[in-house]
Amino acid sequence: MNQSEPFIDVRIPYEPGKHLGFAYNRAMQTVADWVLFLDHDILLCNPDWYAICQKTITRVSHSAGFITCVTNRISNSHQQAGSCPNDDIKKHIGTAKSLYEVYKDRVHEMTIKDSPFSGFFILTHKQAWKDAGRFKDGFLGVDNAYYHDVIKANYKVYVMPELYVYHIYRRKTGL
């Protein structure tokens, strides 16, 4: 890793009893600066995902409080990469490749302040977390509350349309 590239601590937080906010906050205690929180049910389809995140951080810097990517099965249209209901992993990898080729090196600032935002992929930094008042304890809505809190703390929210992950969420068939 080049010393000028940001280090990103990658975590999949968990706490029994639906205390996801508590698990995020516990993880943030040991994070040096940037952290990427991933849901347990996503598949990173682009092998360059880490470098894409680093490039985005370098471009937007600490003005960002919440950076996310795009996926399938999600209700937020800004995080939706079109319809990809098929559970064929090869198709999801193909979607990731296509989106990377179309949107390479682009990042979109979110200007919609009241949109529900999913936390399947939250890239944030320690100062934004402190300024936003930390994650609320609980399970459902923790991601939306943090999204709104970083905006209230005068941080920006970004979506990386070039980075697609397969969200296994609500998969229709068993393994």
* Tens digits of residue pLDDT in 45-97: 999 999 999 999 999 999 999 999 998 877 677 777 866 667 788 989 999 99
* Interval 98-116: pLDDT, tens: 999 999 877 777 666 656 6
- The number of domains in the chain is 1
d(CA 103, CA 73): 20
Q: Residue 21's CB: how many other CB atoms inside 10 A?
A: 21
Q: What is the CATH number of the domain that holds 80?
A: 3.90.550.10
Can you give the residue range of the structural domain that contains 155? 8-167
Residue 148 lies in a domain: yes
In a domain, 174, yes or no: no
Q: pTM higher than 0.85, yes or no?
A: yes
